[in-house]
Amino acid sequence: MMKYALVTGGSRGIGRAISVRLALDGYYVLINYRSNKIEAEKTLFEIKSNNCNAELIQFDVSNSIEVQNVLSGWMDSNKDKHLEVLVNNAGVNKDNLMVFMTDNDWEDIMSTNVDSFFYVTRQLLQNMLINKSGRIVNIVSLSGQKGQKGQVNYSASKGAIIAATKSLAMEVGKKKVRVNAVSPGFIKTEMTESLNEEELKKLIPLNRFGTAEEVADVVSFLVSEKSSYITGEVISINGGMYS
């Protein structure tokens, strides 16, 4: 029987690698994106080239009404299909020293990185509980574990999701829904392309940035039966920078 997964921000960077990986694992993947349809189409093309199945689903994860309308619309037209995997991956950063940080810098990060978790997860959770089957993986960040200067807003958002992961895992474990977080360090994507990799890699014991595919492999493990006794965990993938 076909298994269904939703990957928010599944069109580029880490989300693209997760979408491709889950499709290869046998999932029909709903690839969410906000605005860059060209990149989303490339991800869909890559999945179809591997003879796997997926579709695009456009909505802004930070907009409660949009999330509700689009996802309930999909579920109403696909009543026989159960979205058993949710990867809350969409995220943004707007780095600045706190003393210069504007209300917008704070609010944009909180709405995209934190409110989104609530809006999207709430929408899928009821069916996971009814079906007694669900895996939720939240992509957080090393910044949310150890802090990072210039990222007070981003660190606060990711720390919030780490706490939410642990609480939700306690709420839904009895209904066979597992909730975990994956916490990357420096991963090569558009988000990190302006960083000085040559300098920063000196801080990393494994002496390099990670790849999106390496993060996707951890997600693949966490949604599989191989991790069936793991819930409420934060799995770091940071080349040894922090544990």
Ligand X SMILES: NC(=O)c1ccc[n+]([C@@H]2O[C@H](COP(=O)([O-])OP(=O)(O)OC[C@H]3O[C@@H](n4cnc5c(N)ncnc54)[C@H](OP(=O)(O)O)[C@@H]3O)[C@@H](O)[C@H]2O)c1
Binding site for ligand X (CB under 6 A): 8-9, 11-15, 32-36, 39, 60-62, 89-92, 112, 139, 141, 184, 186-187, 189-192
Q: Which is nearer to ligand X, 65 or 130 (CB)?
A: 65
Question: One of 4, 33, 154, 242 is an active-site residue; which one?
Answer: 154
CB of 1 to ligand X, least distance (A): 28
CA distances from 234 to 64, 110, 142 (A): 26, 20, 10
Q: Cα-atom radius of gyration of the chain, to the nearest Å? A: 17
- Asked whether the CA dihedral 7, 10, 14, 18 is positive or negative, the reply is positive
Q: How many whole angstroms from its chain centre is CA 230?
A: 18
Note the Cα 39 to chain centre separation in Å: 17
Closer residue to ligand X, CB minimum distance, 8 or 165: 8
The yes-or-no answer on residue 33 being catalytic is no
**Is 45 in contact with 23 (CB distance < 8 Å)?**
no
Smallest gap, in angstroms, from Cβ of residue 53 to ligand X? 19
Cα–Cα distance measured from residue 140 to residue 160, given in angstroms and rounded to the nearest whole number: 9
Minimum gap (Å) between residue 100 Cβ and ligand X:
21
Of the pair 134, 144, the CB lying nearest ligand X is at: 144
Tell me the catalytic residues.
154
